[in-house]
Structure 1
């Protein structure tokens, strides 16, 4: 039997989820994306670029996450973040297609918190401004692994505060990053449990995602293959709601979207590809 895992008495201020009907596990509602015409919903902000390198990126593609198959006892359900306190408030990328920078810094912020005990907001803007040479395109899309490569090459990433004042002081440096075993739910859980928040890419191309309000999100039309993943987000925990297992995912579309900026994404069938392209940084 696994020992009881003690978590700090803190939960994200998610709204009450409410009952789900037998037909639908999630609820749609009016969101900041709701007033857009077809084709103008999530698309401007769904900008993880696809490329040949994405399928064969450097690092430890497909490497087994330490502990994933070593008998590690994982909590069955973590309805709060696995590491409370390791997640900064929900941010808003607005009309800039820079989701990749938010996912990258979110994973970095969590790792830095686990190392230092201090939650330091890190700068998305420095990645948007400076990682062009590594294949990212600022508001026109990018990829987390390219951002990790830039951070590694340049000795670290600045905090939001220091970069905003153009001091550019390094607050977190990395030696590399890990690509969690693709499609392996246990490996992603293990990464969350041992290393904190994990950057993931998803298929967010459906109207149901733009209009998500609460409950466990399952989209039958969602794809989970690498080429179909078009939005980067941050997995921070996992749990079970009315028998449906889910990932607790932090988006970057402000607290007005979804459930205070979060979404519960179904684990079933690797819906929308949460477990397909998961990565986390290794701090120096």
Structure 2
């Protein structure tokens, strides 16, 4: 491993100036005023203005009609990185990532030269009878390397705007005279802000505080969380540009947490550190799987739960699986107790993490699981208060399921939801859509989160796995994560298992 870490920086470098580039998906930016798109448009405008005929007068940005972005990277032979944290990944990512290209369709407003200094010799009749400023429809392509503060205008095409492309001159995105922004209102006091904090950042942070009912103990902590929030926006933006699926990343309930805080409070590092208990292999159905399947539509899935600030995802993954197995064998859907496992599973480490394979064995040793109602979730370890008289379900054994994704789908469709584990690299900032993270950053041997695989299908042309998470309904798509299917994304196939109920 040490040798690999020493050699990796060199191996990740491109072969030479002519090295081929791989490209991420070309994606539409839903908001044309996206900060990155607006920044690229302003850069293109500056470059255009330097080369434009000065007798036309300066131009202003009237509208961004369409904005698209595409990340490019140097292909490498390695499929994994020997690093876990964002800081460690940053040491390698920008050797791989070549840049981000923005494709912009904009409308420019040309200011009348009569109002500008240096045009005293203009025809007086023209200047005394001004007309609406000319509008241009332009296509710009801007190459950006934000981590190096580098931009380049690689393509520029401008022509007179068609009626459908014109905007009212008063609707310019760039005011002719700068205006003083109003001070932000509560919940964030202006004195708690850095002088360099942008109005947009403040607005996003205020919305975040309101949406997720966040508050901090004092002004110093507020400043610190604002800084973390700003850094996380940049991380989310990088993940967004490198994603190869249809996912949207951005502000989530975890946007004020450092990576270390997020990992220690919500993830499960033991999944990658401890060997799983050996289990017998599951029999794979011989029939090909149906094109799509979702156990939510067949009554086998309870509502989304919230593990809170406790690394107990392993318990939620296993109880979700047992709930499905009991439903399929006994016809009753029962919400089961994760707290029983947190308190009474002596093979695992409660909020410090655990393994699904151990949890199955613990359930067998205890004699079963109580219901959520009888043994409610507290989100921290307590003394075990399990009672055999309150056992609602039991299991007989457990099985390990194939790593082949087609076989996983076949087993799931016939036998029920599956406990799986994956690398949660992209999940801190996931909002919706089908996530397909850059493989170098979401490698399969650094799994750190256990979840429940409930189905699969296709959105448009994008195949996906439907995954029930345990971070509450106010995360992701009503508590669900959709991950690209067919490329073993984020190691989702490396630890698939299920309880067996006879």
Query: 1:154 matched to which residue of 2?
Result: 366
Aligned: 1:232 with 2:232 = no
Once the two structures are TM-superposed, the CA of residue 102 in structure 1 deviates from its matched residue by 0.1
Mapped to 1, the partners of 2:340 and 2:274 lie a distance apart of 25
- For residues 1-47 of structure 1, what are the alpha-carbon distances to aligned partners after superposition, in whole Å with 9 as ceiling and x for unaligned? xxxxxxxxxxxxxxxxx999785520013211112234333442111
Contiguous gaps of at least 5 residues in structure 2:
1-27, 31-67, 71-242, 377-384
Secondary structure in structure 1 of the residue aligned to 2:352: coil
Mapped to 1, the partners of 2:297 and 2:413 lie a distance apart of 8
Secondary structure in structure 2 of the residue aligned to 1:53: coil
- For residues 174-215 of structure 1, what are the alpha-carbon distances to aligned partners after superposition, in whole Å with 9 as ceiling and x for unaligned? 111110012x112211221122110000001x2x31111111
Mapped to 2, the partners of 1:29 and 1:255 lie a distance apart of 17
Mapped to 1, the partners of 2:457 and 2:268 lie a distance apart of 28
Q: 1:234·1:250 contact (CA, 8 Å) conserved in 2?
A: yes
- Relative to its length, the structure with more helix (as a share) is 2
Name the CA shift for 1:42/1:212 in 2 (closer, same or farther; >3 Å). Answer: farther
Task: From 81, 87, 103, give the equivalent of 2:295.
Answer: 81
Once the two structures are TM-superposed, the CA of residue 258 in structure 1 deviates from its matched residue by 0.6
Name the CA shift for 1:82/1:32 in 2 (closer, same or farther; >3 Å). Answer: closer
Once the two structures are TM-superposed, the CA of residue 108 in structure 1 deviates from its matched residue by 0.2
Name the CA shift for 1:82/1:66 in 2 (closer, same or farther; >3 Å). Answer: farther
Task: From 123, 129, 132, give the equivalent of 2:343.
Answer: 129
Mapped to 1, the partners of 2:264 and 2:462 lie a distance apart of 28
Once the two structures are TM-superposed, the CA of residue 123 in structure 1 deviates from its matched residue by 0.4
Mapped to 2, the partners of 1:22 and 1:110 lie a distance apart of 41
TM-score (norm 2): 0.48
Q: What is the root-mean-square deviation of aligned Cα atoms in Å?
A: 2.2
Query: 1:6 matched to which residue of 2?
Result: none
Task: From 189, 200, 203, give the equivalent of 2:423.
Answer: 203
Query: 1:65 matched to which residue of 2?
Result: 283
Secondary structure in structure 2 of the residue aligned to 1:94: coil
- For residues 38-65 of structure 1, what are the alpha-carbon distances to aligned partners after superposition, in whole Å with 9 as ceiling and x for unaligned? 43334421115144532xx2211xx253
Q: 1:47·1:98 contact (CA, 8 Å) conserved in 2?
A: yes
Instruction: Please give the residue correspondences for 1:268-283 in structure 2 after superposition, counting only pairs within 5 Å.
Output: 268-283=486-501
Bigger relative contact order, structure 1 or 2 (CA pairs below 8 A, ≥6 apart):
1
Task: From 117, 134, 138, give the equivalent of 2:350.
Answer: 138
Query: 2:472 matched to which residue of 1?
Result: 254
Q: 2:290·2:410 contact (CA, 8 Å) conserved in 1?
A: no
Q: 1:249·1:262 contact (CA, 8 Å) conserved in 2?
A: yes
Q: 1:195·1:280 contact (CA, 8 Å) conserved in 2?
A: no
Query: 1:216 matched to which residue of 2?
Result: 434
Q: Which has the larger radius of gyration?
A: 2
Once the two structures are TM-superposed, the CA of residue 120 in structure 1 deviates from its matched residue by 0.3
Name the CA shift for 1:48/1:105 in 2 (closer, same or farther; >3 Å). Answer: farther
Secondary structure in structure 2 of the residue aligned to 1:269: coil
Task: From 411, 414, 426, give the equivalent of 1:194.
Answer: 414
Mapped to 2, the partners of 1:38 and 1:26 lie a distance apart of 20
Name the CA shift for 1:97/1:52 in 2 (closer, same or farther; >3 Å). Answer: closer
Query: 2:393 matched to which residue of 1?
Result: 172
Q: 2:422·2:447 contact (CA, 8 Å) conserved in 1?
A: yes
The size of the alignment, in residue pairs, is 252
Secondary structure in structure 2 of the residue aligned to 1:161: coil
Mapped to 1, the partners of 2:325 and 2:356 lie a distance apart of 15
